[in-house]
Amino acid sequence: MGEDITAILGMVVLQICYAGLNIISKLAMQSGMNPLVLLTYRQIFGTLAIAPFAFFTERKTRPKISVAVLIQILLCSLSGATANQILFFIGLKYTNPTVSSAMANILPAATFILAVLFRQESVRIKTKPGLAKVTGTIICVCGAMLLSFYHGHTIGLGESKIHWAYIERMRDRNPNRQGNHVVGSILLLCSSFAWALWFVIQARLSVKFKAPYTSTTLLCFMASFQCGIIAVISEHNIAAWSLKSTSRLVAALYTGVVCSALTFSITSWIIQRKGPLYVAIFTPLLLIIVAILSWALLGDKLYVGTVIGSVLIIIGLYAVLWGKSKEMKLQDHNMEKPTIEKLPNGTHNNIDEKDDMEMQLSLK
């Protein structure tokens, strides 16, 4: 009972941390901070924050870092850190935190699409789990398209009683335009697919290299150079790299330390005890928290299209998660049943399918 409550509290804290990422990053960019510069600082501070965990917790159990492992980590950094986060931060700059958090919920559907293309998943549309995953994916994509291209009428929530002079100045200086909203939403959608591609690559890496803190440290370290090179090419002004502004310094430290080191530690702890689906189930909570904070602090308006699109994405998300959950339970049930192999001498031998599957995974 105590562990269940701790897991729930951990998930709530996790969503609050990610909500802070959306709000604080948006404020930093409204102050004029280049999103590529912010992302570079995030990778640098993230590397410095995670490296001690990797050294002290995995120094005795860390497998050998081969060239093949380094290549896979490089691919993970290109997809999961550089491409994903560049698209996310630029998309956030052009839209608002509510849209960015809603688009994040399309991740399971995007992962399913890419896993099918890379033959890590089978569709099995004639089964209930397979049909749920396909239907959920279609609903997610439809919700994302609606969120991107349709605003509709404003939903009257009244005015927030919170008036922060700094935020109001930033908001008046950088109003969002409809054209930017469409471009930003498309970039956020592409960000989810880049993130999903990282999941597909990471699935193979985690089988060969079971040292998550070390791989994450190397991933952030590589991404620091990748994002740094892109940011330097994009932004030549030295003043743009200054962290003298409080909002920029807070954003850089928060995104790196809290949203890389702390959230990774919390997520790893919960996945170890409750499984990955448990973590995914709580993701819509982020949308609710961000929508409230965006209205209260940033004065963002809520549109009919945003609400309908978000609801469709959440329905599709749970459909995909339900299908995946049923499929995993069925696989676990089948692996518990021993199969009988007839030997040449006429005797029989029990084969544990779970061990056989693990052996096949280790050979990939």
Structure token pair of residue 228: 């740094």
Q: Each residue of 211-252: pLDDT tens digit? A: 888 988 999 999 999 999 999 998 888 888 999 888 889 999
Spatial separation of the C-alpha atoms in residues 319 and 137, rounded to whole Å: 8
Q: What does pTM read for this prediction?
A: 0.80
Q: What contacts 274, CB < 8 A, 6 or more positions away?
A: 7
Residue of 26 and 159 predicted with greater confidence: 26
Query: Percent of the chain beyond pLDDT 90?
Result: 33
pLDDT of 363 > 90? The answer is no
Give residue 181's pLDDT band: very low, low, confident or very high (50, 70, 90): confident
Q: What is residue 308's three-state secondary structure? A: helix
Residue ranges per domain, the chain? 1-170+179-335
pLDDT at residue 266 in the model: 84
Concatenating the DSSP letter of every residue in 93-124 gives HHS-HHHHHHHHTTHHHHHHHHHHHTTSS---
- Angle between the 84-94 and 2-30 helix axes, to the nearest 10 degrees? 60
DSSP state of 105: T
Task: Kindly report the number of other CB atoms within 10 A of residue 8's CB atom.
Answer: 14
Beta bridge partners of 342: 348
pLDDT at residue 176 in the model: 52
Query: Percent of the chain beyond pLDDT 70?
Result: 84
pLDDT at residue 338 in the model: 52
Strongest mean pLDDT among 17-26, 266-275, 299-308: 17-26
Mean pLDDT value across residues 34-60? 92
Mean pLDDT of the chain: 82
